[in-house]
Structure 1
C-alpha cells in the first residue's frame, strides 16, 4: 500500500531524497538564497514549493535552475527517479515544435537525448528524429543530416513492414534537409530512395503523392523539366484517386502551370492555371490563388495588352502592401519586366527601385530576428532571389544606356545569388548581357571573369543533369 502523501510529487527511490532537496542542498552549498536562484525564472514562493516537494516544476524550469546553479542537468537528476520530469519535458518540447519554436525545443531534446536513462514512454528513435528536425529548422544542417542518416542506416537493416514505412519518411526528411541546405542533387537522390522504398509496399496513396510532388519540384528546381512533368502527371493520377483532395489538386495544378510557364508553353500553362484557380478558390487558399492569377497575367502579357496587365498586377500589389511586402516587391518586378518588354526603360527602373526598397527593409528585419528557423531562412533566400532578379533587370536598363560599368556592378551582386540558388536561366541571361559588352570590343577583365564563372557553373550543372 502506498502511504506517500500527495505533496511528495518528486520523491525518488534511492534514500527517499527529493529533487527539491537536491536543489536546496546545491543552492545552500553555493551560498545562494531562494530569491537569487528564482530570479528571472520563477517566483520565490514557487521556488520554496519546489524545494519542499509541494510543486513539480516543468522541465524547462528545472533546466533554468540547473544553469543558475551552474550544475549539469544530468548531475541534478543523477540517481533520481525522474520519469515524470522527462516525459513532461518531452511533451513541452513537442508543443514548442508544434508552434514552430524549434530553438526553444532544441535544448530540451538535446538533454533528453544525452540522458543516461530515458522514460519508457519516450521512443529513442522518435526523440532522435525530432532532435534532427529541430537541428534542421535552426540551420544546424550537418547535425540534422548526421542524425537522420543514422536512423536511415538502422531502419535499412530491418525487413519489418512498419520499419520500411518509417524508412520512406526518413528518406523524405533527409531530402528536405538537403534541400533546405541548397544541396539539390543530394536532395534528389534521397527523394529517389524514398520512392524506391515506397515501391516495395505501396500502401499509402497520400505518402505516394507527397513523394511524387517532391520529386517533381526538385526536378523543376534543377531544370530537369521533362522529368518534372512526368512526376507531376504521376502525382495527378494518385491525387485523382483520393477523395476530399481539392486543396492538394489545386496546388498540384498550380505547380504544373508554373512548369509550363518555365518551358514556354502558354496555352497549356493557362489551361492548367485556370483549373488551379477554381480549386484553390474553393479550398480557400487565397495566396496560391493570387499567385496563379499572377501567372496567367504574366503569360498573357503582350505588346497589345501590356497596360491592362500592369493595371492588374499593381492592383494585386496593393492587396499585398500590408500583409506581405515581399510578394508586393515581386509584383513590382513583374511590372518592371513588362515595361522591359515594351522597352520603356525608365519605368522599368522605377519599379525595380521600388522593389529593391521593400526588399532591403525585409532583409534588415530578417537579419534582426534571433530565431533564424528554416521558415525565416526560406524567406531570406526568396528575398535574395528577388534582389538578384531586380539587379538583373536593372543591368538590362543600363546596358541599353551603354553604362557598362553599372551593368557589371549590378551583375556582380546578382550572379552569386543565382549560383547559390542554382538559377540556370538567370545565369544564362546574365552571361548574355556581359557577352554583349565584350562583343562591342570593350576589353573588360571583370566582364570576362564573370562570363567565365557563369559558363563554368552552367557547364557543371548541365553535365550533372546529363544534358552535356
Structure 2
C-alpha cells in the first residue's frame, strides 16, 4: 500500500538527500522522520515546500495526501464523538477506516477505543470480543502491555456479563504475566490485583484474597499511594474476619480508617468503622459492638443513605444476637426506608426480619416478610438465602398452612430429583457493603 510517507521517503532517497538536508530551513529531521513513517501528516504548506525541494509538483503527492487527510479526519471525528459520549456515531466512524489500517493508526488503540464505546453502550458481549482481539494482537506481537491491558479490561466486561469465573481467569493470567516479568511494572498492575482479590472475597475464597492483598501491600511501598494502602487494609480486614482472625482484622480495619481519613475519604472511613462493629459481633463481643455502633450514629452523615442503611442493618444483626428483637425490627424498618436500597441489602433485611419476627413468635408477620423476600427474588431464585427452604417450612408449619407446606415440600423434592437445584449460592455473608471497592 503506497502511502504519503513511503512516497516521500522513496523520492528523497532517489534524490540522494538526507532527512537533515530535506528539512533544512523548512522543518526538522524529526518531523521528516515522522512524516515518512506516517506517524504525522504535514500541512499543505509544508508539503508544498518539500515537493519544491524535491523537484516535483505538489500534485505528485495529492492522491496520498487527500486519502491520508480523509482517514485522519475520520479518526479525529470518531475520537471527538467518543469524547462527547456519542458512542454509536464513534463506532460507525472507527469502522469506516480502511483495512488494513494505514501506518499512522495503531490497531491496539483502535481495538481499545471500539471496546470502550461498546462498553459504554452496555454492549458487553461486543466489548469482550474486542478485548479478545486486543489480547490476540498483543500475543502475536509479544507485547506484554497490550496483553495485560486486554486481560484487565476483558475481565471487567466479563464481570458485567455475569461471567465471574472467566473474569477471575483473565485477571490471574494478567497477574502471572506481570509476576514472571519482574522488571516490568505497569500502573494497571495494582488495579488487576485489587480486582482479583475482590472477586476472591465475593466468592468466599478468603485465604486467597488475603494472600493477594499482602502481596499488594508490599507492592504499594514501591509504586503506589495512600488510597491503595487504604483499600488493601480494608480488604485484609474483610478476609481476616471471615478466616476467624479477629484481632488481626481489627488492626487492619483501624489502619484502613486512618488511611481513608488521611486521604479525606470520609465515606469509606465510615464504612470501615461499621466493619469494626461487624468484626466485634462475629467475634461474639456483642455488648462491645453494640456500644461502639451506637456511638457511631451521632457521627453519621445524615445525607448518606447507603451508610445509614449499613449501620442500622448491622445494629439489627446485633439486636438478634442480644435478643432485643423489637429494637432490631425498628432498625430494619429504618434501613428499609432508604432511598438507595440495593436489592442485596433488601434481601438481607427481609431475611433478618423473618428471623426477628420468628423469635418473637409473630409468625403472621414472619410469613408476610417471607412473601416480600420471595418477591425480591422472583426474577432470580438463586438470590434466595441459604436455609430459605427450612425457614419457609417452619413458618408454614407454625401458621398451620398444611396444604401449602405439603405443596412446597413436593416442589422442593421434585427440584432436587430433576435438577439438583438448591437455593442460595455459596457466597460471602450478606453484609454486602463491608467489602472494599475495586
Q: TM-score, normalised by structure 1?
A: 0.65
Report the equivalent of 2:4: none
The aligned residue for residue 198 of structure 2 is: 217
Which aligned pairs between 1:46-445 and structure 2 lie closer than 5 A? 81-83=69-71, 85-93=73-81, 95-96=83-84, 104-117=85-98, 121-159=104-142, 163-202=143-182, 203-204=184-185, 206-242=187-223, 245-301=225-281, 302-305=285-288, 307-317=290-300, 319=301, 321-322=302-303, 324-359=304-339, 362=340, 383-400=342-359, 401-403=362-364, 405-415=367-377, 427-431=385-389, 433-434=391-392, 436-437=394-395, 443-445=405-407
1:414 shift after superposition = 4.9
Q: 1-side partners of 2:358 and 2:294: how far apart?
A: 27
Shift of residue 182, structure 1, vs aligned partner = 2.4
Q: Distance in 1 between matches of 2:425 and 2:345?
A: 24
- Structure 1 unmatched ranges of 5 or more: 4-12, 17-77, 97-103, 364-382, 463-468
Q: Is the 8 A contact 1:388 1:417 kept in 2?
A: no
Change in CA separation of 1:179 and 1:86 when aligned onto 2, cut-off 3 Å: same
Equivalent-residue separation in structure 2 for 1:341 and 1:257 (angstroms): 22
User: Which string of whole-angstrom CA distances, capped at 9 and with x for unpartnered residues, describes residues 64-112 of structure 1?
Assistant: xxxxxxxxxxxxxx9895346424424424534xxxxxxx241232122
- Check conservation: 2:253, 2:275, Cα contact below 8 A: yes
Alignment RMSD:
3.6
Offset from partner CA, 1:194-252 (integer Å, 9 cap, x none): 1233244231064443333222111111111222122222222222333x522211110
Cα 1:234–1:303 shift into 2, 3 Å? closer
Contact 1:175/1:186 (<8 A) preserved: yes
CA distance in 2, matches of 1:264, 1:430: 25
1:95 to 1:305, Cα distance in 2 relative to 1, 3 A: same
Deviations 1:273-298 (A, max 9, x none): 11212222222222221111111122
| Larger RCO of the pair (alpha carbons < 8 Å, separation 6+) | 2
- Say if 1:276 and 1:289, in contact at 8 Å, map to a contact too: yes
Q: Which residue of 1 aligns with 2:51?
A: none
- Counterpart in 1 of 2:421? 456
Please state whether the residue corresponding to 2:162 is helix, strand or coil: coil
3-state DSSP of counterpart to 1:284: coil
* CA–CA distance in structure 2, aligned partners of residues 459 and 307 of structure 1: 29
Structure 1, residues 240-278: CA drift from partner, whole Å, max 9, x if none?
Answer: 333x52221111001111222333432111011112122
**Radius of gyration: which is bigger?**
2
Matched-pair contact (CA < 8 Å) for 2:277–2:290: no
Query: CA–CA distance in 2 between the matches of 1:198 and 1:146?
Result: 23
Change in CA separation of 1:390 and 1:132 when aligned onto 2, cut-off 3 Å? same
Q: Where does residue 22 of structure 1 map in the other structure?
A: none
